[in-house]
Structure 1
Amino acid sequence: MTDYDVLMVGAGHNGLVCAHALAKSGRKVLMLEAGDVAGGCAATREFAPGFSVSSCAQWLTQLSPRVMDSMSLVDHGLQFAARDLASVSLAEDGDHLVLRGAKLEGANISAEDQLAYEDFSARMMRFTKILAKAFSTRAPKLVESNFADRLTLIKLGLGLKLLGKNDMNDLMRIILINMYDVMEENFDHPRLKALLSLDGMLGSHMGPRSPNTVFGYLYRRVGNLFGYDGPAQLRGGMGALADAMVASCKAAGVEIRCGEAVASIDSEAGQVIGVTLASGEQFSGKLVVSNVDPVTTFQHLVGYRNLETGVVRSVSNIRNKSGTAKLHLALSGLPSFAGLSAELTGHRLVIAPDMNYAERAFNAVKYSEYSKEPVMDISIPTVNDPGLAPDGQHVISAIVQFAPHEPEGGWDGHRQAFTDIVLDLLERYAPGIRGLVTASELLTPQDLEKEFGMTGGHWHHGELSLDQVMMMRPFHGANQYSTPVNGLYLCGAGSHPGGGVMGLAGLNAANEIIKRVGAA
């Protein structure tokens, strides 16, 4: 039995951010990670001999500059392979639509749509500024609030008021509807509408017509305020972020042990006393911080038998279905997308011809089926970072929407069929690509759940919907990083503000712990 001030369960990027801040405050911190390496969804691994890929998250779009600066990530080796990439909505005939910042190119985009998008983008950024302020601190409670919570609510209210009457009314109106309707109100071009609506549903169990997709879009746009005018790609893949964070944590004195699965978070009379590993080894500590998702934390590690009925009900009601799969391809050469310039090949490539196409793709997963014509968010990372593959060869990493957690009969009988569907779709846009494929890997939501330890395979650890964000995340009673178990805190994507490689859940949790517990 070894004593530590803080025991961290899981070493995903939010956990690393939290551990670093707690160690800098003078605490003795031990991180326990079940996987072979730290980083969680920020991971790079070899999926075929000589071919490496960002195995879960593939674009950096939201990492907070506060996290970058506090952990000195650049000093610890973090490098960008490319920044401010364009989003390209692919067309089979080669007349692609290109979105660069607030500018649109190609696809016979009209002057009216261009002006409308510039206005729309500016308006969305005004709305996003309010979210960014809310994300920078703990979510305020609406009842039993203290002075800090009241001050946060006052600032949020003031931010709304400063929008002006028209913008405030518009925000209150659209936040409750869906991207399909908002797109129809603002634009004419079908691929522009589909491209923007994708950003509202990516990684979720929602289609363009689903409520909460406007919030999802605004959530993603927070990254613009953090300095990302389009997706960024890290040199060495997303695992390079984990490597820099690990180096920063170790420099701060954090002890990290990988390959050590926590079997239980131990408590007595509602008070945390430590953790027990799957090996039977025990560690004592007055504080335990969980970076894993809330369902895993409470159901499997704390144990429902140690929680009140109301808490168990709240945990059981968290919606965390995923509709997202990942496809990785090793290619003997660079694919040629019809009409796509060499300059754009390394940018974000999207297959979503129109919103009805995207909605039909979503319809399938509602019935535990996979899409016969899926939506895809495609990266060819080796264009910007050749070291991920052998000389002259390439990697494709694609987010594929939609795939169920478990189709009828299980994935063993469907894996190749779904892979073939995706490859056939790619062939329509990049003729000859099938002949370049030397290896492939499909990660279903079930695979993502198993590999990254996130219930349902949901990378946000719970849907980003208005009833599961801010002061409702993950549920009432655990919405300010503390939990009904004294001494147990949450710091992962299931906490405020949510998932994506942002880091604020971890940083906010550390600040809250330091505030509550006091100086070390």
Structure 2
Amino acid sequence: MNHFDTIIIGAGHNGLVCGSYLGKNGQKVLILEAAEQLGGLAATREFSPGFNASVAQTISHFSTKVAKELNLSAHGFDVAAAPMTNISLNKEGNHVTLTSSGEITGVGSEDQQNYQQYQQLLKRFANLLKPFWLKTMPRIGSPSIKDNLTFAHLGIKMRMLGKQDMAEFMRVATLPARDLMDENFDSDQLKALLSWDGLIGSKMAPRSPNATILALLYRMSGLHDGAHSLPSGGIASLINSLHKAATKAGVEVQTNSKVKQILIQADETGLKANGVELQSGEIISADRVVSAVDPKRTFLDLVGPQHLEIDFTSRINRLRCDGYVAKLHLALSDLPNFTGLTKPDGRMIIADELDSIEFAFDDAKYGEPSQKPVMEIVIPSLHNPELAPSGQHVLSAHVMYVPYKHKNGWTEQAKADLYERVIDTIAEYAPDIREKIIDGEILTPLDLEQQFNVTGGHWHHTELSISQMLMMRPTYEAAQYSTPIPGLYLCGAGSHPGGGLIGGPGHNAANEIIKASK
């Protein structure tokens, strides 16, 4: 029987990050991936002959610390790739554009001036939190001096903001996005554009009073203060570089290896995770098991409630994991012509006001995709021509809000209706889009769950909200990457700091495992 120091379940970017750090530390590590490809939701896959795309379509806040320590640049990843322009589309071509340098067009001079002050303040708040995304958040009430120093560090940084800005941080961090936007700007398009990154991927809308601004600050932790980019080689360049880093560290990566269960040894000393059983029936033993898959799948499916306390199982059951984003991929014969744009290069947002986003959310709350969907569109083949045949293109879009549970079930007809509705919406801004479509697909949250083994099809594995963040993510007794079962750890997006392509959970979990194994 093969034996490893550590088995990691899931070769998404966090599993690869965690494995690389452990391998560099001298551990014998095996990463098991159920799919044929690595990367999870960031895997680049062929959706039509010759056309490729990834569910994760841009990079905004991947950790520069992780990239440097794993030497990802030597393996082909450019963490400093030039940021993209954000464009709020208008049907008549009166777009609002925002560059990474803070230049705005399409709004009045007062909004332009207010944006500079707004962005400066949010950068201060984002920089306050930035160090803590790559730290283990201590348990509340921990007697450890080191844990208390982490809280003290946060307190000192808050005090360094000054009395006025500290009070403003406490106020702003819990505001609904609408309140913050209404306080600062007049342009409806600009408000919708600036709120987008606090809402995308969540089950929250502009009026939701639950951490949308914290989510925005989280995404501003990257090199370009939250601006999105498409590096040379696309999303695949990140996953490929992480795979190469893991391999160089001596990590063994095995695809098409779905785990059936985590093996739990039970004796007079208690419980301990000591290996896995694959769907094939193969048993692989290890000193510890690390799960990069979501908490519900980890504890309820792979471990089993029989090994857990009832209260803990109940908390895991109550985690909010319903995804609200569908993914559109189009194979295009040529670039579509968006009214008022010379070239459709940038993150293009279809949401002309905050109410458009709110009303789309209202439809989804009752089990229906919106009649007027809002979305974020990119054409990644403009940056990475290898994604499509020569002269042709890929359009990739995140469509909000699309419920995981359709009130009548996600039938093929329901999916076809959604697809047509999304194309009709894009056609209002790019009238020739239909004549350019060769092929396309729409992936609902249910499709994402089934194809990528993530509960609810949720980007973050569990909702990024106040009650499921920081030292409560995913829940207490599992928020410091260790779990109630000795030898079992978490390193996925359901752990602190959360989802998105950041690498934080993998980095933090590896640090905890290394400390525990000394």
Q: With structure 1 as the length reference, what TM-score do the two structures score? A: 0.96
In the TM superposition, 1:478-493 aligns within 5 A as 478-493=478-493
Instruction: Give percent identity, aligned residues only.
Output: 44
Aligned pairs for 1:392-407 (under 5 A) are 392-407=391-406
Residue 98 of structure 1: aligned partner: 97
Partner of 2:11: 11
Equivalence map 1:273-352=2 (5 Å) = 273-342=274-343, 345-352=344-351
Higher mean Cα deviation, 320-329 or 81-90?
81-90
| 1:102–1:121 contact (8 Å) kept in structure 2 | no
The answer to whether the Cα contact below 8 Å between 1:82 and 1:384 also exists between their aligned partners in 2 is: no
- CA distance in 1 between counterparts of 2:349 and 2:143 reads 44
2:460 corresponding residue in structure 1: 460
SS in 1 for 2:285: strand
How far 1:82 moved relative to its partner? 5.4
CA offset at residue 81 of structure 1? 11
- Which residue of structure 2 aligns with residue 260 of structure 1? 257
Residue in structure 2 matched with residue 45 of structure 1 by the alignment: 45
Measure, in 1, the Cα distance between the counterparts of 2:51 and 2:3.
42
Q: 3-state SS of the aligned residue for 2:68?
A: helix
Is 1:501 paired with 2:498?
no
Q: Residues 67 and 79 of structure 2 are in contact (CA less than 8 Å); yes or no, is this contact kept in structure 1?
A: no
Partner of 2:118: 120
| 8 Å contact from structure 2 (residues 188, 353) kept in 1 | yes
Report the residue type matching 1:383 in the other structure: L
1:243 lines up with 2:240 in the alignment: yes
Per-residue deviation, 1:170: 1.2
Report the alpha carbon displacement of residue 228 of structure 1 after superposing the two structures with TM: 5.3
The 8 Å contact of residues 205 and 463 in structure 1, kept in 2 or not, is answered as yes
One-letter amino acid matched to 1:302: V
Alignment RMSD: 1.3
Q: For residue 219 of structure 2, what is the aligned residue in structure 1?
A: 220
Displacement after TM superposition at 1:197 (Å): 1.2
Instruction: Give 5+ residue unaligned stretches, structure 1.
Output: none
Q: Matches of 2:72 and 2:60 in 1, distance apart?
A: 16
Correspondence 1:149-164 to 2 at 5 A = 149-164=147-162
In structure 1, what residue type is equivalent to 2:407? E
The secondary structure found in structure 2 opposite 1:41 is helix
Report if the CA contact (8 A) 1:43-1:237 is conserved: no
Q: How far apart in 1 are the matches of 2:104 and 2:308?
A: 56
- AA aligned to 1:496 is H
| Residue 77 (structure 1) aligns with | 76
For residue 143 of structure 1, report the CA deviation from its aligned partner: 0.9
Confirm or deny: 8 A CA contact 1:204 1:323 kept in the other structure: yes
1:181 to 162, 179, 182: 179
Displacement of 1:136? 1.8
Cα contact 1:83–1:228 (8 A) shared by 2? no
Task: Indicate conservation of the 8 Å contact 1:236/1:388, yes or no.
Answer: no
Task: Give 1:86 shift.
Answer: 0.8
- Aligned residue number for residue 356 of structure 2: 357
How far apart are 1:463 and its partner, in Å? Answer: 0.8
1:192 counterpart residue number: 190
The answer for the alignment partner of 2:86 in structure 1 is 87
Is 2:219–2:226's contact at 8 Å kept on the other side of the alignment?
no
> What is the match of residue 441 of structure 1?
441
Secondary structure at 1:94's aligned position in 2?
Answer: coil
Cα distance in 1, alignment partners of residues 308 and 352 from structure 2: 48
| Superimposed CA distance per residue, residues 151-183 of structure 1 (whole angstroms, 9 cap, x where no aligned partner) | 100000011111111111111112222000110
> Can you give the 5+ residue segments of structure 2 that lack an aligned partner in the other structure?
none
| 8 Å Cα contact 1:97-1:104 kept in structure 2 | no
Query: Per the alignment, in what secondary structure is the counterpart of residue 428 of structure 2?
Result: helix
- CA contact under 8 A between 1:83 and 1:230: conserved in structure 2? no
> For residues 82 and 426 of structure 1, do their structure 2 counterparts lie closer, same or farther at Cα, with a shift above 3 Å needed?
farther
Q: CA deviation at 1:396?
A: 0.2
The code of the aligned residue for 2:433 comes to I
> How far does residue 2 in structure 1 lie from its aligned partner after superposition?
1.3
The Cα offsets for residues 207-232 of structure 1, whole Å up to 9 and x where unpaired, read as: 11112211121111112xx3456211
- Would the aligned equivalents of 1:95 and 1:106 in 2 still touch at CA under 8 Å? no
Offset, 1:79: 4.6
* Aligned-partner Cα distance in 1 for 2:48–2:215: 34
Which aligned pairs between 1:421-432 and structure 2 lie closer than 5 A?
Answer: 421-432=421-432
Q: Scaled by the length of structure 2, what TM-score is found?
A: 0.97
What is the CA–CA distance in structure 2 between the aligned matches of 1:289 and 1:375, rounded to whole Å?
A: 37
Q: Return the letter of the residue paired with 2:40.
A: G
Take 2:157 and 2:76, find their aligned partners in 1: how far apart are those partners?
Answer: 37
Secondary structure of residue in 1 paired with 2:74: coil
State the distance in 1 between where 2:28 and 2:300 align: 27
What is the deviation of 1:72?
1.4
Q: Deviations over 1:331-378 (max 9, x none)?
A: 111101001122xx2211111100011100110111111011111110
**3-state SS of the aligned residue for 2:284?**
strand
1:96-130 deviations in whole A, cap 9, x for unaligned? 111112524332x1111111111011101111112
Contact 1:8/1:19 (<8 A) preserved = yes
Give the superposition deviation at 1:77.
2.1
Q: Distance in 2 between matches of 1:213 and 1:78?
A: 30
Amino acid at match of 1:42: A
Q: Which residue of 1 aligns with 2:129?
A: 131
Conserved 8 A contact 1:44-1:239: yes
Offset of 1:406 from its aligned partner?
A: 2.4
Q: Report the count of equivalent residues.
A: 512
- Tell me which amino acid in the other structure corresponds to 2:415: R
Provide the secondary structure at the position in 1 that maps to 2:253. strand
| 1:84 and 1:229 in contact (8 A); partners too | no
| CA distance in structure 1 between the partners assigned to 2:65 and 2:152 by the alignment | 23
Q: Distance in 1 between matches of 2:483 and 2:226?
A: 36
Residues 81 and 235 in structure 1, CA contact (< 8 A), matched pair in contact too: no
